[in-house]
Amino acid sequence: MAGAKEVRTQIASIKNTQKITSAMEMVAASKMRRAQDRQAATEPYTRKMLHVIHHLAHAHPEYESAFMRKREVKNIGYIVVSSDRGLCGGLNNNLFRKLLKEIVEHQENGIGIKFCTIGRKAMGYFKRTGGSVLAEISDIGDTPHIEELIGAVKVMLDAYRRGEVDQVCLATNKFINTMTQDPRIYQLVPIHGEADTKLKHHWDYIYEPDARDVLEDLMARYIEAGVYQGVVENAACEQSARMVAMKAASDNAGDLIDELQLIYNKARQTAITQEISEIVGGAAAISG
Amino acid sequence: MSMTIHVDIVSAEGEIFSGLVEMVYAPGEMGELGIAPRHAPLLTRLKAGDVRLDLGDGKEMQHYYVSGGMLEVQPHIVTVLADTAVRAADLDEAAARKARQRAEEHLRDAESQIDTAKAQAELAETAAQLRAIDRLRKTKR
């Protein structure tokens, strides 16, 4: 019964794998829900902030911040958000593909590209393929905090202030629903301010200490919050992509087990039949 | 019912408080601020400290610690944009330096120019793998 025994161990090992993948699926599902909540929680902050920034920019056009001024684009900085871990289907891959398409276009126009990576997958990718990476952050875990992102964002913003990049974009995945994540590239800096027509009437804040300082501070925080939002959304995408991938893996394992079970049963049946015929044959030989 | 003012305390990581209060006390950069309803529009940075909310009706004062942030006041609404992290120029700079170093460590032997052909090849490979898995699944059904 050698064949049957082998099949049995194979089944046992696949069953173990299935246990792991279905556990991962469930873990991802619960993490996804939490990540979505976190994402929703960032919304009021950025909305409020943008509101204040626009108001400020309108009330004080003379303080036009560098972060709002458009300039000729010679270099672009990309903040690329990826996951730390794999087993999440084509999530990172799709994002990199979209990004690469843009990069190729920019390179044709002679625009320089710089990166700042968040998450191990992006780092690994640019490590293999080359690319000027100014800063990297990884191991942010399931609960990202703004604290961990400040450094990387600052590197990009400093580069922007010094004129090393003329535009900063954020590449991240947008959460559409559990099944769909859409890679997106947003422009972070310069902040595109839309003319707010409601601000026709004149009123202004009292500033402490002064408008320029407050505005600069607000801008930096707004951009950080934008990156944070991207990271949190990407985390939600990662979990949902993992959930789907793990569900597929569990289903596959189930199919495999069914097939192997059939093979095992056949092998077992053959062995029994053979034994019986041997016994019958032996008995016949003795009595005959 | 006395006059009230709406207060939102939000941070990038979530909403902390939202509701009507009679008075807000906040640690402004230029000194402690007390904000009553119909305060003039004001925008200021906050120092680390307590934001206190007087809910009125003899209710207990509510305290929220903020490590800094922004305070926006309009006649009927006060918004505290709280920082979740302790901020200081040198701390930020240290974080930036760390992020830069990490990138340098990882990329010591990598090309500084992105090799688009290689990048595309790698993506194509992974995409093909995923497609193959997909096809395998479909044919089995």
Q: Please report, in tens digits, the pLDDT of each residue of chain B (141 residues total).
A: 578 999 999 888 888 889 999 999 999 988 899 999 999 988 899 988 889 999 888 888 888 888 888 999 988 889 999 987 667 777 788 888 888 888 888 777 666 677 777 788 888 888 888 888 778 777 765
> pLDDT band at A210, cuts 50/70/90?
confident
Instruction: Say if residue B14 is in the same domain as residue B72.
Output: yes
Compute CA distances A211 → A46, A206, A214, A218, B25, whole Å.
Answer: 19, 9, 5, 10, 22
Nearest to A127 among B87, B99, B107 (CB): B107
Report the alpha-carbon distance of residue B41 to residue A63 in Å, rounded. Answer: 19
Domain shared by B81 and B125, yes or no? no
- What is d(CA B129, CA A249) in angstroms, rounded to the nearest whole number? 14
State whether A97 and B127 contact (CB < 8 Å).
yes
Specify whether B15 is located in the same domain as B74.
yes
A65 SS3 class: coil
Instruction: Give CA–CA dist A172/A183, Å, rounded.
Output: 6
pLDDT at residue A44, rounded to an integer: 87
Same domain flag for B83 and B96: no
Domain boundary among B60, B88, B116: B88
CA atoms within 13 A on the CB side of B2: 10
Same domain for B78 and B15 = yes
The CATH number of the domain holding residue B104 is 1.20.5
Q: Which of B88, B110, B128 is the last residue of a domain?
A: B88
Asked if A43 reaches chain B (Cβ–Cβ under 8 Å), the answer is: no
B22 in the same domain as B84 = yes
Based on the domain organization, do B71 and B104 belong to the same domain? no
Nearest to A206 among B41, B84, B102 (CB): B41
Nearest CA in chain A to B11: A45
Pair (B107, B78) in one structural domain: no
Provide the number of structural domains found in chain B. 2
B71 CB contacts (<8 Å, ≥6 apart)? B26, B28, B33, B42, B43, B44, B45, B46, B78, B79, B80, B81
What residue numbers bound the domain in which B81 lies?
5-88
Helix ranges, chain A (H): 2-59, 91-108, 120-129, 146-161, 211-287
Are B35 and B84 within one domain?
yes
Q: With CA atoms as reference, report the closest residue to B41 among A257, A24, A205.
A: A205
- Give ipTM to 2 decimals: 0.82
The full DSSP string for A162-190 is: TTS-SEEEEEEEEE-SSS-EEEEEEEEES
User: Could you tell me if B12 and B81 lie in one domain?
Assistant: yes
Q: What is the dihedral of CA A212, A216, A221, A224, to 10 degrees?
A: 160
Q: In what order do the strands lie in the sheet with A167-175?
A: A133-137, A112-118, A75-81, A167-175, A181-189
- Residue A137 with chain B: CB contacts under 8 Å: 99, 102
Identify whether residues B61 and B118 lie together within a single domain: no
Domain boundary among B50, B72, B88: B88
Residue B80 is part of a domain; what is its CATH number?
2.60.15.10
What angle, 0 to 180 degrees and rounded to 10, lies between the N-to-C axes of helices B89-106 and A146-161? Answer: 90
Within this chain, do residues B33 and B78 fall inside the same structural domain, yes or no?
A: yes
* Contact predicate A19/A246, CB 8 Å: no
- SS3 assignment, position A70: coil
Minimal Cα distance from A118: which residue of B? B99
Whether the per-residue pLDDT at A176 is higher than 80: the answer is yes
